[in-house]
Structure formats: structure tokens, C-alpha cells
């Protein structure tokens, strides 16, 4: 009887030691590992949440899948690290994760002193207000909210933005603050305050948990800029480019009408732009210049669909959240989604 | 002179008459316990009112109006909320718990590998039960297996990363088939002449662990490390050797002086920054070490309380018998001291068990963490979902804590030989 125990993985597991990918060439490390380590939210409806089987799904998760598809041609080669708001930056800095796709607001200080690069914006968010239309009939603008009591989570920038907004508009308000999100939800639902304020994307998911969702209206005003996007470490331009252009490719695909269903037909399109994007031109070098295969966009679109498909499936009309495209509409349709040309 | 005519003389004693109706059965119990004084009557009525106000609505919510099965949030939401329930409906959404049950138990542990967790759980129960029942013999062997062999076996089973290939000779092959049921199917697929099998336990990284699995692993390791370590720290703190004493005091006071959240947070967020690039300790391992050390410091103080309650005469008696330090501790002091502080020890265990849910702040998901995480699944978001999930998590925690508490009471009664009142 011959017994062999392969201790390669075991040794690493036993000590909990694992080589991390903190070196410069993240793409090589990721290829060598065979998977992408992606930091996501610990749970945010529509953006990153587990399904019944425990698989990650959501709008931010799709970015991870898209990058994995661009590199490996296989969207399943991702390992997810659920990170809390405080942990996320350490995790990226220390090389525990290769990519942070966790509804992170792009700010100057994060870009500079924390040492990250934001690869673009995948969701334009902003702080908004929700009211119970039955209790406050006739209110259709945040500027009519003077004297209202406002439910808000304490210790967040949301609280500060709220104070700024009401002071700037010379309005009075009574803040009703809570520590935990569930507490704010319960207080608002039981009528302890007239107004609920948090990021607009959050308001839609909270509305799902209210007793009478149709009575509640999200007001149109957005009082802060929260451009959310995937972030990578500074100092690896190739990796930064891959993530940036994966997102751009999803947006471009929507603009050109390439979907996960018609991507195979589109390969044979006579439109030179589509041919170029899908790597069907004879001497295509676009993929190689990123360090990827020429059909990288095809793989991305097959895996997660174009930007619009991903949006509708996770947070838009195809999901219980039913968030309107709004600012996240393509620039051709009045939104802000604009990708530089792929050529 | 008058004659007494004694026509009847009782030959035997009268049977005891039953007590009056007001002094027996439920009536007597009610009179004594519920209605003894006017104040008692008022308290009883208030109590009844509270029970009536709480219990029927809760039962209605949790059982009679509850939804037991369903594909998504629509079964747990009213028409206005985008569901199928009538207006004004309120009931528990057990369908949510049902759909997510496996996740609550195993986290994201790969579905094909979950038998490994079940096997560990089975071994745990099979080894722990005889250890807890005083009548079952061979406690020493059992304890060695439970605290020595079992943790190592479970480590290999749960973490995996093992690949055993075997080329047994033909005559031993049938034995292999019997002893290792796991590989039977593999063997059947192979040609009969080539008795070859390959046990492969793929590596399952700890970030995939979750739910009750994490809660139980954390608390089992925490409990089995903190008791011995706590005893050593407590003895060290009472030691006459200055360096040992100083080290123990510093450790205990430093660890007790910071909240568990801080310990976990330091381990998860600050620690990686101090390590050289490329070196990274497993997050779960960091949490395990943090929780174990934290519980040890508390345990040490509980046990020190027991040591202080032992009269000086016991120590002197042991000394006069010529026992050495460890003999004195093992034979005379610790058996008495530990028995005295069983409630305190179990209190620390229960506290530790519940504290494990704090690991959710470092992105690990114990039972409570994974329940709360699933509230973010938009497919199940409804007004009833959070309450149902939390009630379920609370119930599971309660089962374990109540079990520990009852067992500690049983142990106290059994060991309470010297101080019986």
C-alpha cells in the first residue's frame, strides 16, 4: 500500500500563512493564483448580497465577475472577501484583496493619501430623502421639509450632510438619531419621524421592508455627491487599466446595443466600432495592450451582460428594488454614464 | 348510679380524612402562591394580564399566521407590499429561515463538502455525550480523544487540503471499502482489477465558513483553551515568583482592560499592517486567538476567586503532608476551588458563546451575522423578515445557553458534597 499525502496546501493552511499579492504586477499574481480576490460589502441589497444558496450576487459583485471574465474568460474564478466599512481600506492596502468593489465613494483623500485609484464610477449615488406621503400630503420637494423630524443613522457623513443642507436653506429640523440601521427603519416605519435620509440607493431597499411601501415617496433632491466605484491599489497601472476598461467596456456595450444574448451575432456585425470592441478586427491589438485576450469584451458581456443589463437585473426593474436609472442612464439618454472610446 | 351503655366501641383507627377542600390541590397552591395577600392578588392579576397581552399575539404571529414555505418575499408581504398576503396580515416569515437554513448552519461552505461539517458535528456529539454523563466509564480515554484527537481530526476535515491516494493490494481492498465508506462510490466506478482509490478533501478556506459552524468552532476552541489557560494564569497570579506573577497580572489586566471588539478589530485591521508584505495570517485564526486569550483572562479571575475561598488550613495541611506545589494544587486546592466556581465558569462560557457574534464586525459571519447579512437579500426583503430571522437566531442561541446552564446546575448538585444545606 502506498500512501501519499500532498502537504502543499496543507502547510499553508495549517499556519494560516498565505502569500498575498502585494507586489507590483497584480495581473501576474492573479493569473498565478488562478482567481481574483475581490472585496465586497458584507451585505447591501442589490449591490452585494447572498442568494439562497449563499452565492454572491449584486451590482458590485458583477464588477468582480466582469474583471474575472476579462482575465480568465470565466466569471466564476472570483473569491469574495466580505469587508466592513472600516476594514475595506486595510484589506486593499495590505494586499488581502486585489480589487475593492464595495460601494465606495470616490473622494480626493481616498485617491491620494490612502493610496488608491478609482477605476471609474459604476453608480452615481447621493443622499436623498424619503417621506410618508400620507403624513405629509403635498410635499414634493425637500425644500418643503422645514420643521420636520428626520430619522438618520448617527456617526455617518449622512448626518453631517443633513445638517449642512438644512442650514444652507435656512430650515429647521429635529434629528432623530439611531446607532443601527434596523433601529432607524423601525422608528421611521412606526412614524416616529417624518423623513428618512440616507443614500438614495439605500432608500429604495429600505422601502421594501416598510409596512406600506406605496405610501412612501423618495423626493427628487440629492444633497450630496456619492460617486461609487471600484478601487485598486496605486502603483500598478496595468491592473488599474484592466479594471477601468472592463467597466468602460460594459458601458460601451450598452451604448452599442451589445447584450449577453446577442453578443455572438454581434461578432459578425459590419459596424466597425462593434467589431473593434469585440476584438473581431483582423489585426486587433487592444486586448493584448491590456495584457488580456482579444475577446475579453465578449467574455465580460457573456458573463454579466452590459452595464444596463447588470443594472436592471440587480437593482433596476428586474429586481425588487426597482431603482430608476436616473443619473446612471447613458449620456445619450440624459444620464452621466459616458465611456471613453475603445480603440 | 347510672349505667353506661357502651353499645359501640371502634375497633380500629379512623382513616385519615382528606384535608378540607380549601387546603389541598390547586386551590391550596393558588391560595398560598398567588392569592395570599391583597398585594399578591394584585400582582397575580397584573401578571395574568401581561401574559394575555403578550402570549396569544406572539403565538399567533409565530405559529398560526406564520408562513412556512415559499419561493421569495411575495409570500411574506401583503398586497400593498408587493406580496400575496391580505391587508393587515402579520406573521413570521419562516419561509425565509427555511430557504436560508443551510446557509445559517454552514455559511458558504461548499455544498459538496458539507458532509465533512456534518461528520465533525456527529463526532462532536458522539464524543461529548459520554463525557457529560457521569455513569459512562473510561472518562480519561474519552477526554483524551475529545480534547486531543478530535480537534486535530476536525481541523483536517474542516480545512481540508488533503489528497490521499491509495493503491491497496487486492486482498485488502475489500476491507478498505468497508472502513472508508466515503470512497465506496469511487471504487465502484473503477475497473474491478485496479483497486485504487483517492480520498480528496479539497481545501476550504475559512472565509467560506459561516453560520452556526463558526459560532460553535469559535466557542469550542475558546472554551477548551480558556479553562486550562485561565487556571494557569490564576495560579501564576497567586504565585510567589515575582516575574511569573508580574507577567500574569499584566496579561490579565491588559486583556480585561480592553473590549473584545477592540481586540478583534486590532487583530483584523491593524495586525496585517505590521506584517511584512506577502505574509498574511488567516482572519479566522486571528479571531480564534483573540477570543481565546480574551476568555482566558476572564476565566483566570473567576478561578482566582475560587482559590481565595479555600481556607489557608487546606494549603498548610497539604504542605504538612509533604506534598509538592503541583501535587498540592492538583489533589487539594483545585478540586475544591473549581467546584466552588462552577457557576462563574459556566457564566464565562455562556458569555463567550454569545460574544462570538462580535466577529461580524471583522467581516466574519457567525450565526447572527449571517442571519443579518441575509436581510440584505432583496429577494426576501419584507417587513417580517428581520424579526423572523432574529427570533430564529435567538432561539438557537437560547438552546445552547440553556443547555449549558442546566448542565452546570446538574454538575453543581452532584459535586456539592461538602456544603450541602
B-interface mutation test, from A20, A43, A185, most B Cβ less than 10 A away: A43
B385 interfacial to chain A (CB closer than 8 Å): yes
Chain A partners of B265 at a C-beta cutoff of 8 Å?
A: 86
Whether A50 and B164 lie within 8 Å, measured CB to CB: no
Determine the Cα–Cα distance for residues B208 and B65; give it in Å rounded to an integer.
Answer: 35
CB contact under 8 A, A5 and B102: no
CB contact under 8 A, B265 and A214: no
Q: Residue B280 and residue A328: Cα distance in Å, rounded? A: 38
Residues A187-198 as b or e (16 or more Cβ within 10 Å = b)? bbbeeebbbbbb
Q: Which of B116, B153, B213, B280 to mutate to test the interface with A (most CBs of A within 10 A)?
A: B280
Structure letter (DSSP) for residue B33: H
Burial of B268 by CB count in 10 Å (0-12 exposed, 13-18 middle, 19+ buried)?
buried
Question: Strand A173-178 and strand A148-153: pairing?
Answer: parallel
Return the pLDDT at A283: 85
B272 contacts A53? CB cut-off 8 A = no
Q: Which helix (H) or strand (E) holds B85?
A: none
Instruction: State the ipTM, two decimals.
Output: 0.79
Chain A's closest residue to B107, CA to CA, is A54
For chain B, positions 274-293, list CB contacts with chain A under 8 A.
Answer: 275, 277-282, 284-286
pLDDT of A195:
92
Please judge whether B277 and A95 are an interchain contact, meaning their C-beta atoms are less than 8 angstroms apart.
yes
| Burial tier of B216 (Cβ tally within 10 Å: 0-12, 13-18, 19+) | buried
Residues of B in contact with A134 (CB under 8 A): none
CB contact under 8 A, B207 and A81: yes
Residue A215 exposure: Cα atoms within 13 Å on the Cβ side:
16
Cα–Cα distance between B379 and A52 in angstroms, integer? 9
Pick from A271, A272, A260, A341: nearest CA to A304: A260
- Element housing B180 (H / E): none
Instruction: Read off φ and ψ for residue A128, nearest 5 degrees.
Output: -130, 180
Q: How many CA atoms lie within 13 A of B300 on its CB side?
A: 26
In A, residues 221-280, which contact B (CB 8 Å cutoff)?
Answer: none
Asked if A187 reaches chain B (Cβ–Cβ under 8 Å), the answer is no
Q: Do B278 and A86 touch (CB under 8 A)?
A: no
Whether chain B has a CB inside 8 Å of the CB on A143: the answer is no
Say whether A84 and B277 touch across the interface (CB within 8 A). Answer: no
Contact (CB<8Å) B376/A45: yes
Distance, in angstroms, between A265 CA and closest chain B CA? 33
Tens of pLDDT, residue by residue, chain B (421 residues): 566 677 788 888 888 888 888 888 888 888 888 888 999 999 999 999 999 999 999 999 999 999 999 998 899 988 888 888 898 888 999 999 999 999 999 998 998 889 999 999 999 999 999 999 888 888 889 999 998 899 999 999 999 887 776 655 444 444 444 444 454 445 455 444 455 566 778 888 888 899 999 999 999 999 999 999 999 999 999 999 999 999 999 999 999 999 998 988 888 777 877 877 667 778 888 889 999 999 999 999 999 999 999 999 999 999 999 999 999 999 999 999 998 999 999 999 999 999 999 988 887 889 999 998 898 888 898 888 989 999 999 999 999 999 999 999 998 888 876 655 5
Task: Enter the C-alpha cell of residue B357.
Answer: 457574534
Which of B109, B261, B285, B363 should be substituted to probe chain A, the one whose Cβ sees the most A Cβ atoms within 10 Å? B363
Taking only residues 30 to 69 of chain A, the set having a beta carbon closer than 8 angstroms to any beta carbon of chain B reads 42-46, 48-55
Residue B257 vs residues A313, B252, B261, B272, B298: alpha-carbon distances, Å: 49, 8, 12, 23, 11
Task: Nearest chain A residue to B103 by CA: give it.
Answer: A54
Exposure of B177 in the CB half-sphere (CA atoms within 13 A):
16
Contact B82 A4 (CB under 8 A): no
Residue contact A42–B385, C-beta within 8 A: no
B261 contact A CB<8A: no
- pLDDT at residue B165, as a whole number: 66
Give the residue from chain A lying closest to B268, CA to CA: A87
Determine the average pLDDT of the residues in A87-97.
Answer: 87
Pairing assessment for the beta strands A226-233 and A56-57 based on DSSP bridges: unpaired
Query: Do A93 and B273 lie within an 8 Å CB cutoff?
Result: yes
DSSP symbol at B14: P
Question: What's the pLDDT at B3?
Answer: 65
The partner residue sitting opposite B378, judged by closest CB among A16, A53, A205, is A205
SS3 B381: coil
Amino acid at each position: 500500500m502506498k500512501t501519499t499525502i500532498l502537504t502543499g496546501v496543507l502547510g499553508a493552511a495549517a499556519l494560516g500563512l498565505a502569500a498575498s499579492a502585494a507586489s507590483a504586477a497584480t495581473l501576474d499574481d492573479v493569473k498565478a493564483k488562478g482567481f481574483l480576490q475581490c472585496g465586497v460589502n458584507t451585505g447591501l441589497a442589490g449591490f452585494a448580497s447572498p442568494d439562497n444558496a449563499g452565492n454572491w450576487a449584486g451590482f458590485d459583485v458583477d464588477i468582480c465577475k466582469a474583471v474575472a471574465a476579462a482575465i480568465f474568460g470565466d466569471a466564476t474564478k472570483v473569491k469574495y472577501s466580505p469587508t466592513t466599512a472600516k476594514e475595506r481600506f486595510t484589506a486593499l492596502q495590505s494586499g488581502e484583496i486585489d480589487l475593492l468593489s464595495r460601494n465606495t465613494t470616490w473622494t480626493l483623500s481616498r485617491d491620494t493619501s490612502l493610496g488608491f485609484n478609482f477605476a471609474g464610477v459604476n453608480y452615481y449615488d447621493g443622499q436623498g430623502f424619503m417621506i410618508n406621503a400620507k403624513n405629509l400630503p403635498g410635499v414634493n420637494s425637500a425644500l418643503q421639509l422645514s420643521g420636520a423630524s428626520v430619522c438618520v443613522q448617527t456617526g455617518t457623513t449622512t448626518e453631517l450632510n443633513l445638517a449642512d443642507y438644512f442650514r444652507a436653506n435656512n430650515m429647521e429640523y429635529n434629528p432623530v438619531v439611531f446607532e443601527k440601521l434596523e433601529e432607524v427603519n423601525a422608528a421611521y416605519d412606526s412614524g416616529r419621524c417624518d423623513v428618512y435620509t440616507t443614500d438614495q440607493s439605500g432608500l429604495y431597499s429600505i422601502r421594501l421592508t416598510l409596512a406600506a411601501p406605496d405610501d412612501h415617496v423618495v423626493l427628487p433632491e440629492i444633497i450630496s455627491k456619492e460617486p461609487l466605484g471600484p478601487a485598486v491599489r496605486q502603483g500598478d497601472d496595468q491592473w488599474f487599466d484592466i479594471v477601468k476598461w472592463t467597466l468602460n467596456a460594459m458601458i460601451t456595450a450598452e451604448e452599442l446595443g451589445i447584450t449577453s444574448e446577442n453578443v455572438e451575432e454581434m461578432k459578425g456585425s459590419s459596424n466597425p466600432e462593434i467589431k473593434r470592441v469585440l476584438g473581431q478586427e483582423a489585426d486587433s491589438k487592444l486586448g493584448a495592450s491590456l495584457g488580456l485576450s482579444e475577446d475579453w469584451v465578449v467574455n465580460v458581456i457573456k458573463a454579466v451582460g452590459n452595464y444596463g443589463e447588470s443594472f436592471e437585473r440587480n437593482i433596476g426593474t428586474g429586481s425588487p428594488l426597482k431603482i430608476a436609472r436616473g443619473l446612471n442612464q447613458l449620456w445619450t439618454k440624459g444620464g452621466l454614464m459616458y465611456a471613453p472610446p475603445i480603440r | 348510679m347510672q349505667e353506661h351503655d357502651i353499645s359501640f366501641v371502634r375497633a380500629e383507627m379512623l382513616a385519615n380524612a382528606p384535608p378540607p377542600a380549601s387546603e389541598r390541590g390547586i386551590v391550596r397552591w393558588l391560595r398560598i402562591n398567588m392569592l395570599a395577600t391583597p398585594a399578591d392578588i394584585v400582582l397575580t392579576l397584573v401578571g395574568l394580564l401581561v401574559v394575555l397581552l403578550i402570549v396569544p399575539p406572539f403565538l399567533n404571529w409565530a405559529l398560526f399566521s406564520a408562513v412556512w414555505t415559499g419561493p421569495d418575499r411575495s409570500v411574506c408581504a401583503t398586497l400593498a407590499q408587493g406580496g400575496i398576503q391580505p391587508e393587515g396580515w402579520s406573521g413570521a416569515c419562516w419561509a425565509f429561515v427555511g430557504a436560508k437554513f443551510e446557509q445559517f448552519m454552514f455559511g458558504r461552505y461548499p455544498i459538496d463538502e458539507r458532509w465533512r461539517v456534518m461528520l465533525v458535528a456527529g463526532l462532536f456529539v458522539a464524543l461529548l455525550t459520554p463525557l457529560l454523563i457521569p455513569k459512562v466509564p473510561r472518562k480519561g480515554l474519552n477526554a483524551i480523544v475529545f480534547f486531543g484527537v478530535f480537534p486535530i481530526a476536525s481541523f483536517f476535515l474542516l480545512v481540508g487540503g488533503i489528497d490521499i491516494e491509495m493503491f491497496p493490494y487486492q486482498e485488502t481492498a475489500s476491507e478498505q471499502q468497508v472502513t472508508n465508506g466515503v470512497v465506496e462510490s469511487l471504487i465502484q466506478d473503477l475497473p474491478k482489477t485496479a483497486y485504487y482509490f483517492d480520498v480528496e478533501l479539497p481545501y476550504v478556506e475559512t472565509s467560506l465558513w459561516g453560520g452556526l459552524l463558526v459560532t460553535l468552532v469559535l466557542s469550542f476552541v475558546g472554551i477548551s483553551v480558556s479553562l486550562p489557560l485561565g487556571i494557569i494564569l490564576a495560579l501564576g497570579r497567586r504565585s510567589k515568583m515575582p516575574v511569573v506573577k508580574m507577567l500574569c497580572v499584566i496579561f490579565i489586566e491588559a486583556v480585561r482592560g480592553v473590549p473584545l471588539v477592540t481586540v478583534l478589530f486590532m487583530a483584523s485591521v491593524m495586525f496585517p499592517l505590521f506584517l511584512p508584505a506577502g505574509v498574511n495570517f488567516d482572519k479566522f485564526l486571528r479571531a480564534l486567538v483573540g477570543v481565546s486569550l480574551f476568555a482566558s483572562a476572564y476565566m483566570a479571575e473567576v478561578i482566582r476567586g475560587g482559590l481565595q475561598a479555600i481556607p489557608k488550613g487546606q494549603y498548610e495541611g497539604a504542605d504538612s503532608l509533604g506534598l509538592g506545589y503541583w501535587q498540592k494544587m492538583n489533589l487539594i486546592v483545585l478540586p475544591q476551588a473549581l467546584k466552588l466556581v462552577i457557576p462563574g465558569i459556566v457564566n464565562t462560557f455562556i458569555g463567550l458563546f454569545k460574544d462570538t457574534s462580535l466577529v461580524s464586525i471583522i467581516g466574519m459571519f457567525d450565526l447572527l451575522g449571517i442571519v443579518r447579512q441575509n436581510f440584505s437579500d432583496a429577494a426576501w426583503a419584507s417587513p417580517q423578515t428581520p424579526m423572523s430571522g432574529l427570533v430564529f437566531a435567538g432561539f438557537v442561541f437560547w438552546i445552547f445557553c440553556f443547555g449549558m446552564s442546566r448542565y452546570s446546575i446538574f454538575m453543581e448538585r452532584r459535586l456539592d458534597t461538602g456544603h450541602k444545606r
